[in-house]
Amino acid sequence: MTLIDISPLIDADIAVWPGDTPYVRTINTDMAAGENLTLSDIRSTVHVGAHADAPSHYVATGQDIASRSLDYYIGPCVVLHVDGVRGRRIYPDDIRGKDVAPRVLLHTGTFPDPRSWNDDFASLSPELVDSLHERGVITIGIDTPSVDPMDSKALEAHQALARHDMANLEGLVLDGVAEGRYELIALPLRLAGADGSPVRAVLRTLV
C-alpha cells in the first residue's frame, strides 16, 4: 500500500478566498537566533488549503467541526476524473456510468495552482449532490476552493449537502491521481465552535 498526499503545501503564498484571512506564521523564539528552542504561532482562515467545511459554515444552526462524525473523513473512496467543466457546475450526466463509493473525490483540473487564484473553477450542482446521496455517498471532495461557484450567494450545493447531512472537502490536490478506488484519510482538527478545519488529506492505495 502507498500513501498519496492530496493536500497543498500551506505557506504564506497559498491563495485563500478573496477577503478571507491569509496564512501567516510568526516565529516567537528561534534557535537560529540563539534561543533554546523554536516556537511559532499561526493566523489563518480555517478554510485554508485542503479543508473540511462544518455545517455551521452555511447553516445558522449547523454543527461545528468538532461535533462532526469522523466517519465522513476516513474510509473507502473513489477518485473520478471530470473533464470539460471549467466555469460551470458538475451535473449527474458528467459522471454517468462511473462507479461511486461512500466518499467521492472529483478531479476537475480547474483550479490548477493553489498559489494563484482563478474565479472560473468548477463546482457542484444541487442535482449532483442529490444524485450522489441517492447512491449512498456521504462525502464529496473537489479540487477547487468551493463546491459552489465564486459568485454564488445562495450556496445551492452547500445547502443540498445540508439537506442530506453530507460532508464536503475542498481545496484537494488530485493532479496525477489515477481514477479509481482508495482509502481516504482527511481528518479535521477538533476546533470547538469552528466553521471548518484544515485537513491533511491522503489517499491510501488498496493494493
Of 33, 5, 3, nearest in space to 175 by CA: 5
Considering the domain boundaries, does residue 116 fall inside one?
yes
Considering the domain boundaries, does residue 140 fall inside one?
yes
Task: Read off the pLDDT of residues 57-110 as tens digits, 9 standing for 90 and up.
Answer: 999 999 999 999 999 999 999 999 999 999 999 999 999 999 999 999 999 999
Confidence of residue 207 (pLDDT cuts 50, 70, 90): confident
pLDDT for position 1:
86
pTM score of the predicted model: 0.96
Of the residues 57, 133, 158, 164, only one is catalytic, namely 57
Task: Read off the pLDDT of residues 139-155 as tens digits, 9 standing for 90 and up.
Answer: 999 999 999 999 999 99
Considering the domain boundaries, does residue 57 fall inside one?
yes
Considering the domain boundaries, does residue 111 fall inside one?
yes
Among this protein's residues, is 57 annotated catalytic? yes
Considering the domain boundaries, does residue 190 fall inside one?
yes
Split into its structural domains, the chain has a count of 1
Considering the domain boundaries, does residue 149 fall inside one?
yes
Considering the domain boundaries, does residue 82 fall inside one?
yes
Residue 167 belongs to domain with CATH number = 3.50.30.50
pLDDT for position 186:
98
Residue range of the domain that includes 191:
3-7+47-204
Considering the domain boundaries, does residue 25 fall inside one?
no
Measure the CA–CA gap between 73 and 6, rounded to whole angstroms. 13
